[in-house]
Structure 1
């Protein structure tokens, strides 16, 4: 008997986190991205943002956490891996201290290829969309 992708279209999960200054500095240390946009408050006062912003990729990474959570929620015994993200966009800046929510929603299930597709949307505490992407999960029969 063939196994099936453990999702249905519309399945969703969310993950919420307040992004702290230490989160940003730890991320910068891991990645080596010490851009003035993230590290230099005085410089940022001269920009349209007026203050430091969180790395877009750090905010986006919370979508990966939501991907893991939906797999845990499904309780599937089939192993899966991220097959990639498409159409990633940073639509609004995220600031230090913002509380963001990553919403991961299954939009398509391809049982033949054992893949699922999802939209990833990350909102700030004002319900403003900050990051969007499409994600593909690939499952394996074991």
Structure 2
């Protein structure tokens, strides 16, 4: 059996400023035009006081980090996402926020050819906004 290309403690990150166009393109792709994301006047009446970014859009940046860590490790074994567990949107992300998705391998299971990673997404104030556990499944050639 091949040794997996990731080890406990391996980490990488991906940073992006979320623009209004990112949110509207995401809304168009998903069909989620909730007024939480698209109606500034309505949002002024809420505790948020302004539109918020889709949680799933923010979370999706963790997927980018999962790809980047494999590039960083020069992984030569194909892999697929096996899914995410314990996803939580703990703090809102606002238009114009710069978020960083941090991906950290916390467990390697050679027998099942899976790695488990902590996905954390922080805003520019280093406040935790989104968390999840990612499972990566490696596929032997």
Structure-1-length-normalised TM-score: 0.98
CA distance in 2 between partners of 1:103 and 1:129 (Å): 10
Shift of 1:5: 1.2
Q: Aligned pair 1:84/2:96, yes or no?
A: no
Q: Aligned pair 1:64/2:63, yes or no?
A: yes
Matches within 5 A, 1:97-108: 97-108=96-107
CA distance in 1 between partners of 2:75 and 2:2 (Å): 10
CA distance in 1 between partners of 2:121 and 2:75 (Å): 25
Moved over 2 A (4+): none
Q: How many residues align?
A: 141
Per the alignment, residue 74 of structure 1 pairs with: 73
The RMSD of aligned alpha carbons is: 0.4
Shift of 1:112: 0.7
Structure 1, unpaired ranges of 5+: none
CA distance in 1 between partners of 2:55 and 2:61 (Å): 10
| 1:98-140 per-position Cα deviation (integer Å, ceiling 9, x unaligned) | 0000000000000011000000000000000000000000001
Per the alignment, residue 24 of structure 2 pairs with: 25
Q: Secondary structure of the equivalent of 1:118?
A: strand
CA distance in 2 between partners of 1:34 and 1:140 (Å): 37
Structure 2, unpaired ranges of 5+: none
